[in-house]
Amino acid sequence: MYNSKTLGRHGIKFGGRDSRRDMELILTDADIGSVQLKTVDVSIPYNNRPLSFDFSQICGEPIYQPRKLRFEFAMTAPNARMWQDKYHNVCEWLMRQPRSDLYFDVIRDYHFTARCDSVSIGQMYNDHTGRFTATFTANPLMISEDYADTPWDLFNFSDDCMNKGSIVATHGQEIQFYSYADRDIIPRLSVRSLNGHGGVIGYIVLNGERISSIERIDERWFQKDDFIVHPGNNTLLIRGVFTQLAVDLTEEVL
């Protein structure tokens, strides 16, 4: 899929480590797969004709299979014992990570969310030089590092992504922000006070409409059904002394 000479200058970042800089691995092959539709086709009972219903679009939108990623690395060491120790460290790095952000630096400004499924030795040239393959299962869509400078487009297999951004509102300050989404978003929220233990926001006006107050005991993210961000311009005003409201805007491009 990629030129091996080009790949040798690149790598992946996963779980806080860089395959090239931290693990001294040479990337020799890569396959980031593609997005595939998921069908849930169920036959209709008590019907003589071969009728069926596709439940995959019951909510009005298609759903997609997880994406498979594969990366092949070459690794060398001074002797066989050191090669095995190095390989053990690589397996521990990849296999012990929970689902995490994975950066393939050939693709700039986007990343995957993935977990490592397997690490397997492919070919040994001698007892201290060989190749191995790491396979991952990722979410179907790539994720953008920041907002695009154009509105969201239709689903595209080569550059599907998620628009992402965040704002922080404080007492008495009217915030104006823009959503590039083509639909309403119910974002994640977090209430932060000076002591770091949540807080109370009793007065919230979003797009000219007053919505119910918020009281939280900690800073954990949550969603509020009546906190709805519309496409285009939005305005937010809160009143909560010594309290901030963080808004995390994330939505898939479809």
Using the predicted structure, report yes or no on whether residue 6 has a pLDDT greater than 90: no
Residue 49's pLDDT band, with cuts at 50, 70 and 90, is: low
Note the Cα 211 to chain centre separation in Å: 30
pLDDT of 102 reads 95
Its pTM stands at 0.54
Q: What whole-number distance in Å separates Cα of residue 201 and Cα of residue 194?
A: 13
Residue 196 has, within 13 A of its CA and on its CB side, a CA count of: 0
Enter the DSSP assignment of 48. S
| The pLDDT of residue 39 | 77
pLDDT digits (tens, 9 = 90+) for 210-234: 998 898 888 888 888 899 998 889 9
Lowest mean pLDDT among 58-62, 70-74, 95-99, 246-250: 58-62
Q: What is the DSSP letter of 229?
A: B
Handedness of CA 21, 145, 223, 56 (dihedral sign): negative
pLDDT at 220: 85
Tens of pLDDT, residues 148-164: 443 344 444 444 445 66
Biggest CA–CA distance in the chain, Å, is 70
Tell how many helices (H) and how many strands (E) occur in the chain.
2, 20
Instruction: Quote the pLDDT of residue 71.
Output: 96
Residue 142 pLDDT > 50: yes
| Percent of the chain whose pLDDT exceeds 90 | 38
Q: Which helix (H) or strand (E) holds 193?
A: strand 188-193
